[in-house]
A and B are shown apart, each in its own frame.
Chain A
Amino acid sequence: MSDGTLEAFPVEDGPPDHADRPLPGGRTDTYRHPPLVRINHWLNVTAVVVLLMSGANILLAHPHLYWGVRSTFADPWLSIPTIPDWLLIPQGRNLAEARTWHFFFAWVFVINGLIYLAYGFASKRFGRRLWPTTDELKGTWASVKEHARFHFPKDEEARTYNVIQKLTYVTIILVVLPMMLITGLSMSPGFNAVGGFLLDIMGGRQSARTLHFLSAGLIMGFIVVHVFLVFWTGFLNNMRAMITGWFVLEPSDHTKGDAA
């Protein structure tokens, strides 16, 4: 598996991408995530969770959402009744402190994200691991049907991300997470002085606030499905891969849940 093409990209720390080592019982230990990606992932987990929880606290200061330039106090399109304390940072309503948490972790999120993107593109890892090929895209519908039956790729097929994973990750990384940043910046009266065009594209400050909220909803939806699938497809193996970089591929003949 460690053929010559792998030496084309620099991997300074740890084994090269796709390095394999045999395990007893025909299982294969394959190296998936270089250290930087693992650090990026866990920093992002921390930042996004704190951002969502402190963001919820900020939202509660005025839990009404509007479309357009300004608030039409008499008719918000959505009013959030309440959010339980345990989902808030800090615990209990505190707008001043929630903003402090939110903006600190916004910086962590942005700097971490920029490092991830720079590394992903410079090492060509992003294109290799995440960008779906035309052939893969043609198989999207078949893959959707397989997933709907809770059949997930196993063994050698699990070596690389499948087309649904690729599409989801690319959308989250290149669309939804940047959307959080752009809509967030558009709520800044300081930034509006240079980013007024962004505000216009979104249809005004209250639309930007609504889109910030909806994007946060998409991220929460992603987290729920992502964490569910981490458990469903082998919690320990997945966690080990995200902590050490090494992921175990089961051989085909021992694959679980293959009765169908």
Chain B
Amino acid sequence: MSGTPMNRRSWLGRVLATAGVMALAGCQRASDAGANLLVSAEALTRRAQRLLIPREALAPEYDVSEISPDFKPNGSISPAAADYVALRDAGFADYRLEVGGLVERPLSLSLAELRARPSRTQITKHDCVEGWTAIGQWTGVRLETLLDEAGLKPEARYIVFHCFDALTQTEDGPRYYESIDLVDARHPQTLLAYDMNREVLGVPHGAPLRLRVERQLGYKQAKYIRRIEAVERFDDIEGGHGGYWPDRGYAWYAGI
């Protein structure tokens, strides 16, 4: 097609000239375009995984003997916010999980009410984005159970988890939040866990309630959940990227 070397040489010349002009014309615009191109691979990864992995395919589950004796608590380990501290000091007796947003019947559930619902227990691995792995046993109520009870409106596309903790460990820092799509939200292993390793979930691991969404990395497993909101879009929440860490440059879809 491209024929003689002369043709190829003049083509190469044009490419180099174009690149040079582009570099001079707008380094900033080019670097923005480059950054957007790099980030576009994340959408490709998400689509490829959604295409290749069946909705219901389960994350591996492990044996009791493989549970980590030293499951490292990460991120916030003791939220400082006054509302949280008050609940914690009262043994979470007054805690209520709010489920709202684009739902037909908003819920407000105590821990006893959550525990009264069907539960699921699973031993799974927790893969931190940093690279380490820990294995824990989780018991909780399936998120889908609550979503069905509340009745998602047809326009609901994402579930947002608003948390008590601020990673700045201050009273008024930006609170942690995360979001997942309905494929992850309705997955059989997606739990709101209240027990860990057969004991009541401890404060370092997200008491009284944390998310387990087992086909995702650690930073999606939101701890200290205060409120769940069904939304159509999340670009109007906080930094607009769907989570505390996504707002700080991490991928929203963290299945890899």
Chain A contacts to B: CB under 8 angstroms: 12-13, 35, 58-59, 61-62, 64, 69-74, 94-97, 99-101, 103-104, 106-107, 187-194, 196, 199, 204-206, 209, 244
Contact = CB atoms under 8 A, between A and B. Distances in A.
A190 B215 CA distance: 4
A62 B132 contact: yes
B200 interface: no
Nearest to B131: A62
A119 B39 CA distance: 29
B2 interface: yes
Contact of B125 (A35, A70, A103, A107): A70
Q: Is the interface of A mostly helix, strand, loop or mixed?
A: helix
Given A69-B62, A70-B135, A73-B70, A192 B128 contact: no
B255 A100 contact: no
Interface in B109-168: 125, 127-135
A99 B216 contact: no
B214 interface: yes
B38 A191 contact: no
Contacts of B20: none
B170 interface: no
A194 B135 contact: no
Contacts, number: 117
Q: Is the interface of B mostly helix, strand, loop or mixed?
A: loop
Contact of B59 (A61, A69, A97, A192): A192
Interface of B: 1-2, 5, 37-42, 44-45, 49, 52-54, 57-60, 62, 66, 68, 70, 72, 125, 127-135, 214-217, 245, 248-251, 254-256
Contact of B66 (A12, A70, A94): A70
A104 B36 CA distance: 11
A100 B53 contact: no
21 contacts: A12-B1, A61-B129, A62-B130, A62-B131, A62-B132, A71-B72, A72-B70, A95-B129, A96-B250, A99-B251, A100-B42, A100-B251, A103-B41, A104-B41, A190-B215, A190-B255, A193-B53, A193-B58, A193-B59, A205-B125, A205-B133
Contacts of B54: 194
A119 to B, nearest CB: 15
A191 B53 contact: yes
Contacts of B42: 100, 103
Contacts of B72: 71, 73
A108 B5 CA distance: 27
Given A100-B38, A194-B53, A196-B60, A70 B134 contact: yes
A95 B41 contact: no
Contacts of B131: 58-59, 61-62, 209
Contacts of A62: 128, 130-132
B119 to A, nearest CB: 22
Given A96-B251, A99-B129, A193-B57, 17 more contacts: A59-B131, A64-B132, A69-B66, A69-B133, A70-B134, A71-B72, A71-B133, A71-B134, A72-B70, A104-B39, A104-B40, A104-B41, A188-B256, A189-B216, A191-B53, A194-B57, A199-B60
A71 B41 CA distance: 29
A97 B249 CA distance: 7
User: A-B pairs with the 9 shortest C-beta distances?
Assistant: A190-B255, A96-B249, A104-B41, A62-B130, A188-B256, A193-B57, A62-B131, A61-B130, A71-B132
